Amino acid sequence: MGSYEDFWWETTQSINELGLKKEFDAQLEKMSGQDKHRYKDTRTRWDYAYHKVIKNYENKRNQKIQKTQSTSLQDGKKK
């Protein structure tokens, strides 16, 4: 039983620490209208939404880092 409580706690903490609550809630709302998620239990839906939001967050962060690195490289060549 404790593993379920740990899952809810860790998911909520992680989402709140990263400031992704709005995105997480939007993903859950989006999923509620999709047939492929219709018969999944709540934990499975939360797990899917959590990983989807985290993946999007990391992709955006990596794109930002790459953009910054390429800009600094271009600035270095101009000097």
Model pLDDT, residue 66: 85
For residue 64, the enclosing domain spans 2-78
Q: Print pLDDT tens along the chain (79 aa).
A: 468 889 999 999 999 999 999 999 999 999 999 999 989 999 999 999 999 999 999 999 898 888 887 777 666 665 5
What is the number of structural domains in the chain? 1
Model pLDDT, residue 67: 83
| Contact by Cβ (8 Å): 23, 53 | yes
Q: pTM here?
A: 0.80
| Contact by Cβ (8 Å): 51, 20 | no
